[in-house]
Amino acid sequence: MDSRAAAPPPEQVTSADGTRIAYRRLGSGPAVVALHGGLGSWRSWEAVARQLADRFEFLLVDRRGRGDSDDGARAHTLAQEVADTRAVLRAAGPGAALLGHSYGGAVALETARVAAPGETGALLLYEPAVGIDGAISAEQLAALNQCVLDGVPEQAVPLSMRVLDSAGLVTADGPLATLKIKPTPAFRRLAATVPREIGAVATLGPGHIASCGAIALPTLLLVGSESPPRAQANCHELAAVLPDVTVAPLDGLGHVAHTTAPERVAAAIAPFLTAHAQRSTR
């Protein structure tokens, strides 16, 4: 990606609770709504989008609480983020593909589960945050939330890496561990979203993956061979219940390959997006 390329201007939609959600359009062609993971922003998928901008139009979302998006006044829930995503899907038009990474993948998965027919036409998931119930204790969640209550949300970031490492969901020496902790207003705002997102997926319940068997959409599931074994196992458990799924291994790559090897991820998703576009025009 050319670092000098101009950022597309932000656009906004209004979610069901009145929260303004920002996104950026990049490229031209069939629409793809892209959701970033924790500690991300619309830029998380930018490099992949630029690889495919001659074939697809990406709507790169700032999920609530970061970037140009508002945060809303009530306690955070996964259902709120689903409503946010559906608002962006309406802006994208019927049948848009929905792409999500990590926590954004959990949002995409839940959106697909409750969406009306035709609201989205295809689902792309990169190691969605599923199967976490029971892996993180109430005490660990309380410690994460206490960082926010104490006014030092940036301290939740290294603590969250230790918590997720102990649960076998990230590696302590992986790319996420190199994040620089900065007590700037922007980083503190971003860091404050970490405890609530971990809490949201950690309390989905043991039947959540089984409930995803109702998703009839064509689905592409990206799984890095270098991601922690538990994270890979969770993805394969999900694949076993989805009725129309293709698993795409990312050999030699881990959990954030869309930022470290965007050309590889773009090559992995392009055929699936092309096939979806062809089905949509029949």
pTM assigned to the model? 0.93
pLDDT computed for residue 165 by the predictor: 84
Tens-digit pLDDT profile for residues 124-156: 999 999 988 778 899 999 999 999 999 999 999
Q: How far apart are CA 192 and CA 92, in angstroms?
A: 29
CB-based burial of residue 126 (10 Å sphere; 0-12 exposed, 13-18 middle, 19+ buried)? Answer: buried
Instruction: Pick the closest to residue 29 from 2, 51, 56, 49 (CA basis).
Output: 56
Instruction: Pick the closest to residue 231 from 156, 174, 180 (CA basis).
Output: 174
**Per-residue pLDDT averaged across 192-210, rounded?**
90
Tens-digit pLDDT profile for residues 234-280: 999 999 999 999 999 999 999 999 999 999 999 999 999 999 999 88
Assess whether pLDDT exceeds 50 at residue 176: yes
Assess whether pLDDT exceeds 50 at residue 3: no
Assess whether pLDDT exceeds 50 at residue 78: yes
Backbone angles phi, psi at 190, to 5 degrees: -65, -45
The owner of tokens 């699936």 is 272
Assess whether pLDDT exceeds 70 at residue 58: yes
Q: Residue 10: pLDDT band by 50, 70, 90 thresholds?
A: very high
Domains of the chain: 10-131+206-280 (3.40.50.1820), 133-203 (no CATH)
Instruction: Pick the closest to residue 197 from 163, 239, 229, 240 (CA basis).
Output: 163
